[in-house]
Structure 1
């Protein structure tokens, strides 16, 4: 461990979260990306991550190991002897940290025993009809046992810190507090981080004046109203029982004070692992390469009826958890409607393809979208054959032409290939409007994004400069529509749009910054608030912050539309220079700078 901290060199650290080796949302990215920063300060043998074991996700990213004599490996063995299914190994991410995963379907207690234990010892109801809370409870009981076994294996002069993220890994704190003082490990200290309060997320989705009304909410009544009392009680117990309580932003700290009954001791802002390049052209080339792959999607999706000039087409996107209002999807669509009108009335040559990337219930990829993709591939293959035939025939005919004139290119193509190309072009033509969604939705009529698209009438008409693509799933390499990973998709775009109403931090604009992609956020997100307070000239560095505090919704829409139009009006050279400045500012948010806040929390826990 680094001498720059006041922590003892023999201190051990357990970091626990539901999203360790289990990608659900942004916390997965936070934990995974900060590992190299943590390991700059901690001995590999003294640090372990723990999470639930879900084979479909974990088996692809964990290298199982024999328990090699480390404290955490021995504790995993002891846990296994208690009836838990446990996987011990290395997480296959940069740093390859130790990881212990606990099967949330295992353990020695019955469901009834668990319900009784939580109710009697902690006052936390455990409903029989809530399968998620049942899994969370089982995982947390195993996590509690793991922490105890580690504390028993370590001598009392070796401090042990257990850092729990979110309510889904917070029960061990309450269980430790419930132990008789004589049984509580004296050298085990706890840190709890809430990245967003469970109740706050629900309230913000329903209350149009959430921040103004924050001080007036009665937590227990609201938790019961939304049917989330078990999770809220767990979160409150963890927040109030931890030796050190932290959150990610000043906005969420205020929320914690009112909804959890304790003001956080520290703020732990989220960072990124910014991939730096020796030469500016390297990341610009990556933008160009990935943009070409998005071009391929655009041609397949739009060109059958609505060809676009790819040289003047910009790619905007938003992504994140499907919380229509909290994530600002509503404001984004209203602003896009204004942008569409402004560009059309100005006769602008610029087209904008706006991607909504979020996970929503769907049946399958739209067969018509797949058909267009297949027809494009067939046409591409035919054109490749035409080009190959022309290349071979042209050389032969040019050499034989006595006058040295350019041969007739039509004569270089066989009738067979000519017919095949004609048929491919006839099959390609379509009069249907390009679909606004790439999938067949489970509830097309009730889907909030589709409802808003109908309201603002952005249906991908040929005359509309703004086109919509709603992709209700993550972008991955395995996607037949994109065939690229999400970070590659981000690099290929020109602007990320995240004007959130409720966002404790906001990782998506950070991902843009690390890729040299300008981003729009809001000052109701922790990240946007942080940017406003720490970066004097943030707009010059590609970070636009919509002021959503004490302003009308329509004023905010107007400001957001103005930022989009500013980007659309830029020349290609201006956009390149903006990407350069955006990428150059990314080290300000690097984990190598921000990991010090975690070290401070761990040091504080020892006092």
Structure 2
């Protein structure tokens, strides 16, 4: 798939674009990153003819949505404001304002709970006309269907606000906004509809539960399986949206097959996802930023490991994986297998150096492990004690140098008071231990059934001193408020040397793309949309620090061996080679900028405007 020729900056001057997503001002999933990062490029092409539509959840929206006051709304002449005023006259709770992100787009948010008293008729209508059943006690489905009803009303009113020849393109993302599509088509509302599935709902469930998902895809009975997983309503909504849209799209060539076999429609276009690369650009500072944030990771590693044993931090590589806890889908299983093999190779080789591997994901836990927290606190005390000794010695050394007629360096130990000697010794005694460093930083609610921990126990990859691959399993997101890391996720990524994401099921895959944007080499797989796109569009991608593990038509063992070889070859790179590779990674990130990838979306909108 070759990128289309450059599109003109002004897209379809006689059209308005309404982008509908559950994640507008509502950070609940990966689509939030897609929408938010694409906004600046979309605003650049569409200007004030662009608006986003989503559900209004005050708690979620308050930090990033700025509503317009009533008197401001009355002064606006655009069709979006006109439709909002009309809905307010009809008594609807609807907000119009600005999303406080780069691009500052116009946003309409509608409270889904205001029509809960109409749920009976909304559900009956979906069943009677579209064969979509709704159980009584599923609040998420109720929210989705209520929002779909309100989105339909908004778009009906908006069509009355526009003056021909102006037209409306409505782009719906994922099944959670799809309820409106079959209703809009049935009522013949003059809106040109684009629907994007980022991952078929049934496909995600099947991939999690079937290790041979891709081989069995053609034989799937979608009705039986959707009932089996208790997702029939959502799957029927997704199918109705796919079949009701003028233009049906998905995010990668991989998900095209899913759409054909699970939704029974061939997508009209593939819309690859990008990033707003400007947000990540550090000009020539990215190497300095790597050093700065690597130093913060050093702090964590010293606190976590050095109370048991020490190793050379300058000869240590930091690798990580992150994402939703889907042990098989996200490739955690194959990553662990490759790490165990790498550990054995490094032990046999006699090479110097260590690898510290971080697993960053979200799992239910009760608290941070008190011993891990205490170790961090005691190391801080060691640092304070050393700083005090350093100040005392520094002052006395200056005096001694000025007063001395002897040019030799005096015994610095004599310049330390007994108090600080004793405190130094006692602090270290209270910190050092013979216990092995924990492989996990938190107390999980049910660690006996955790797949990552069970693999580490079975393979004895438990941070023995002789292990050359050390493991840190952090079952929570990295954040500045964390007492363990004290940094943002993006800063943590910059401080690492390699991201590992060999997914089995990944319709797109933002985590490796975010690595590339920050100048960090990354491993992905040919079963991720991102990896598939890289293989088709990025020549010599390994030279640019983007590695793709072949998992299609390969056994688990073969893929694990290929990943092991990739990790081994990365470990063999010297510091100069790694710096050169980071330079190439950072320079290749422009390939994934929305300014380039937006053109796929604009072609889909042009196609929708051609269809009636």
* TM tier, smaller: over 0.9
2:236 equivalent among 233, 236, 245:
233
The alpha-carbon deviation at position 275 of structure 1 amounts to 3.9
Alignment of 1:34 with 2:34, yes or no, is no
Alignment match, 2:105: 97
Q: Among 497, 501, 506, which residue is 1:498 paired with? A: 501
**Is 2:563 the partner of 1:560?**
yes
Does residue 1:149 correspond to 2:153, yes or no? Answer: no
Are the aligned partners of 2:330 and 2:504 in contact in 1 as well (CA < 8 Å)?
yes
CA distance in 1, matches of 2:454, 2:138: 30
Matched, 1:48 2:51: yes
Number of equivalences: 600
SS at match of 1:185: coil
Q: How is 1:169-568 mapped onto 2 (pairs within 5 angstroms)? A: 169-179=177-187, 184-186=188-190, 188-275=191-278, 281-568=284-571
Out of 2, 16, 19, the position equivalent to 1:12 is 16
Segment drifting more, 360-369 vs 74-83: 74-83
Gap change, CA 1:11 and 1:191, over 3 Å in 2: same
**Residues 515 and 278 of structure 1, relative CA distance in 2, 3 Å threshold:** closer
**In 1, distance between residues paired with 2:91 and 2:503?**
44
Secondary structure, counterpart of 2:291 in structure 1: helix
| 2:3 corresponding residue in structure 1 | none
Contact 2:7 2:599 in 1 (8 A): no
Change (3 A) 1:82 1:230: farther
Residue 118 of structure 1: aligned partner: 126
Structure 1: distance between partners of 2:11 and 2:40: 18
1: CA distance between counterparts of 2:155 and 2:409?
80
What is the distance in 1 between the residues matched to 2:214 and 2:314? 43
Aligned counterparts of 1:461 and 1:104: Cα–Cα separation in 2: 53
Q: Distance in 1 between matches of 2:91 and 2:387?
A: 60
The answer as to whether partners of 1:82 and 1:107 remain within 8 angstroms in 2 is no
Tell me what 2:138 maps to: 130
What TM-score does the superposition give when structure 1 sets the normalisation length?
0.95
Corresponding residue for 1:58?
61
Q: CA deviation at 1:494?
A: 0.7
Question: Structure 1 CA distance, aligned partners of 2:181 and 2:282?
Answer: 48
CA deviation profile, 1:254-281 (whole Å, cap 9, x unmatched): 1101100111101101112224999974
Distance in 1 separating the partners of 2:391 and 2:59: 44
Contact 2:200 2:258 in 1 (8 A): yes
State the 1:112 CA deviation.
3.2
* Separation in 2, partners of 1:313, 1:276: 29
Note if contact 1:319-1:357 (Cα within 8 Å) is conserved in structure 2: yes
For residues 515-559 of structure 1, give each alpha carbon's deviation from its aligned partner in whole angstroms, at most 9, with x where no partner exists. 111111111111111111222311111111111111211011000
1:343-363: CA deviations, max 9, x gaps? Answer: 111122221111111112222
Query: Which consecutive residues of structure 2, in runs of 5 or more, have no partner in the other structure?
Result: 1-5
* Cα displacement string for residues 276-310 of structure 1 (whole angstroms, at most 9, x for unaligned residues): 99997421111111111111111121111132311
CA–CA distance in structure 2, aligned partners of residues 156 and 208 of structure 1: 53
Q: Tell me whether 1:580 sits opposite 2:583 in the alignment.
A: yes
Provide the C-alpha distance between the structure 2 equivalents of 1:343 and 1:36, rounded to a whole number of angstroms. 46
Distance (Å, rounded) in 2 between the aligned partners of 1:150 and 1:176? 13
* Aligned CA-pair RMSD: 2.0
Cα distance in 2, alignment partners of residues 390 and 170 from structure 1: 70
CA distance, structure 2, for counterparts of residue 480 and residue 123 of structure 1: 51
Q: CA deviation at 1:246?
A: 0.6
Gaps in structure 1 of 5+ consecutive residues: none
CA spacing shift, 1:558–1:158, aligned 2, 3 Å? same
Distance 1:377 1:105, change over 3 A: farther
How far apart in 1 are the matches of 2:19 and 2:280?
A: 31
Q: Conserved in 2, the CA contact under 8 Å of 1:477 and 1:483?
A: yes
Partner of residue 167, structure 2:
159
**Residue 5 of structure 1: how far off its partner (Å):** 6.8
Cα displacement (A) at 1:166:
0.5
Classify the secondary structure of the residue corresponding to 2:45: coil
Is the counterpart of residue 107 in structure 1 residue 115 in structure 2?
Answer: yes
Report SS of the residue matched to 1:349.
coil
Hey, what's the Cα distance between the residues in 1 that align with 2:526 and 2:458?
27
Per the TM alignment, residue 185 of structure 1 is displaced from its structure 2 partner at its CA by 2.7
Mapped to 2, the partners of 1:56 and 1:375 lie a distance apart of 38
SS in 1 for 2:42: helix
Q: Deviations over 1:198-238 (max 9, x none)?
A: 00001111122211111111111110011000110010000
